[in-house]
Structure 1
Amino acid sequence: MVKRTLLFLLCLWLGRTLLGPPLCSPDPHSWQELDSKIRATVRKLPGKTGLVVQDLSSGKSLSISGDDLFPAASVIKIPIMAAVFHESREGRIRLDEQMVIESRFKVGGSGILKQSPEGSKIRIGKLVFLTITQSDNTATDMLISRVGMKRINEVMKGMGLKRSCLRRTIWDFKSMDRGMDNLTTPAEMARLLRRIYRGEAVDKESSARMMEILKQAKRDLIAKAVPPGIPVVHKTGQLAGNVNDAAIVLAGKTPYLLCIMTRETDDAFAREAIQEITVMVHRFFVSRKP
């Protein structure tokens, strides 16, 4: 019993030493105060952190290194999805079109499609759903193969993602070892999510469908820190030293956008910091007067 108590106190002390006690501090009541509190948490994290917070009603926002490039990890799957819907609207592919699951597509990591029998078929629309809701790497690589890496990058540029770049398939460790990573910025992911929210990504129907798919992603990181019952439209991404989340929180009359990205960080503390920042941001928005 004594050992367990000492262990608990040690963990509590470490957490406060590294990240401080933002959850116990008074809620921020102004944008300046919110910015200050977030920066205090960010400064205690190893590596680099970038983020964007935006009020989707007024457009007011704050940014901390929001234009810096970060390894996208699985957050890159949001623009891949958008590119598929774009090509569908242009008539180059059909969402009900079927692809054959081949051994060359099967990769490790998250997802269930790698367990499917070779030669079986799956609709492109289902691949999109699995790419976002299960973060399925096999499904993602199949979409990259079908649309084309070059074309996905062209569509991203057309949507205002000028610096974001898809440079490799999801599970291409050889390219990663050569320093070829998929890149984006918090500001550009925020821009894409904002377009989806406003019905401006591809068209209104496509944006609505993307919103519904993103709502069904696993409630982790930002979504995990938001009270249950509040819809969160988001996609997480994580590699070693790289923890990201890009989200829209549909908090009633105060919908807001929060994109956080890290690099060269400690994964466990980054996850904790993202959730603490989310709590700060959420309390800021829901406590404000309409």
Structure 2
Amino acid sequence: MDSTEPRRHYRSARRSEGEESPAPGYFRRLRPRVLTAAAAALALIAATAVYVSIQSSVPADAVARPETSVTAAPGTPGTASAATNEAATAKQAPSAPASAAAPSPAPAAEAPVSPAAPPDVEAPSVEAPSAGEPPLVVEAPDRGPLPFSPAFDAPINAIIEANSRYQVGVALINVKDGVVHEYGDKTKFVAASTAKILAAAAYYHLVETDRASLTARMGSSTAAVQIRQMVQQSNNDSWALILGAVGNQGMTAYAASLGISYDRTVNLLSPAETGKTLSLLYSGQLLNPQHTAQLLSYMQHTNYETLIPAAVPPGINVFHKYGLLFGNLHDASILVQGDRAYVFVVYTLGKNTSDMAARTRIIHELTQAVTAGLF
């Protein structure tokens, strides 16, 4: 055996005999790599701590927002930003030796974000009357109770208030019960030709009590013809003949029998008084069936259909008598559909005939509001 130095065994490196030992410069080159790996591991641990801190500070009921991915340039160690989700962070983080890498915390489970539900729409409710107070209703034959409630009255009152430069009075009656509902001006107006219905009823009453005849000569024709012309054509000459046959005192007495204060010489009536006459007529309490049907037939298809009839929806029958005198523009009607019948009277007073178009519009608006609520 030679006297050379015994062989060294580098078990950790598993070098075999004859292998050369690593040169000293090798260790110098290896040191920066180890340091770099250690620094990367420390950076990952620090980033994880920051992430856990941020997650713990977010309220539990915070709304999750869409997250934006941040992609690092190839070969560049990526840094996780607050807006980056954990999956993107894991892809961007530099790899580290298994012995140095800290375990990543499991991502917090996020509640699924669902679209916001639409706001609840509250169905309109009917307010019950207070204890001890009867509901303010009238009965309609085929649609149950019909409320004359604030909701029903509101559009009528709004139209009247919006046209306060005119005097406007409205009367509305359910023929079934005869209760009068008044809106706007409740005082007496110059009734103009609407009073011709009262005159016709007064003459028919004389006939029914055997004090007059429809076949009697009157003017150039008969009393029956004069009534038809007075109502359907609004003929003033016919009106004068009928009034002459009844007499002023006869007119006052007949109106009083209906609970109406009337003086033919001034011809003043309120919308409610005219409405009451029409309600009694249609319900059969004013005249016998034959005369009731005859007078109502004259109130259809008159020579002036541009007021209430022009604004009534199809399917509703209209019986009416208009009135026009200087600044007075009126229409008094009975609206009928099936078993339902309502008296609807509108009286208006303006400056003169120059504002008739504006007041015609008011009558149309009121008619539309009333029919929308009743039918």
Q: TM-score, normalised by structure 2?
A: 0.56
Whether the 8 Å contact between 2:178 and 2:276 is mirrored in structure 1 is no
Whether the 8 Å contact between 2:160 and 2:184 is mirrored in structure 1 is no
- Please list, as runs of the form range in 1=range in 2, the aligned pairs for 1:1-290 lying within 5 A after superposition: 31-45=149-163, 46-57=165-176, 59=178, 62-65=181-184, 67-100=186-219, 121-162=220-261, 164-167=262-265, 181-218=266-303, 219-265=305-351, 266-286=355-375
* Change in 2 beyond 3 A, CA 1:209/1:160: farther
Cα deviation for residue 65 of structure 1 reads 4.2
Letter in 2 for 1:84: Y
Identify unmatched segments of 5+ residues in structure 2. 1-146
Q: How many pairs are equivalent?
A: 224
| Structure ID, larger Rg | 2
Which deviations, in whole Å up to 9, do the C-alpha atoms of 1:236-258 show, x marking residues without a partner? 00122211111111122432211
Letter in 2 for 1:52: A
Whether the 8 Å contact between 2:310 and 2:364 is mirrored in structure 1 is yes
Cα deviation for residue 68 of structure 1 reads 1.0
C-alpha distance in structure 2 between counterparts of 1:269 and 1:143, whole Å: 33
* Change in 2 beyond 3 A, CA 1:131/1:139: same
Cα deviation for residue 213 of structure 1 reads 2.0
C-alpha distance in structure 1 between counterparts of 2:180 and 2:243, whole Å: 33
Identify unmatched segments of 5+ residues in structure 1. 1-28, 101-120, 168-180
Q: Give the share of equivalent positions with the same residue, in percent.
A: 26
Letter in 2 for 1:210: L
Cα deviation for residue 66 of structure 1 reads 6.0
Q: What is the SS of the residue equivalent to 2:331?
A: strand
Q: What is the SS of the residue equivalent to 1:135?
A: coil
| Greater helix fraction, Structure 1 or Structure 2 | 1
Which deviations, in whole Å up to 9, do the C-alpha atoms of 1:175-228 show, x marking residues without a partner? xxxxxx310011111111010011011333322322222224342311111134
Structure 2 residue aligned with 1:110: none
**CA RMSD between the two structures:** 2.0
* Change in 2 beyond 3 A, CA 1:202/1:159: farther
Q: TM-score, normalised by structure 1?
A: 0.72
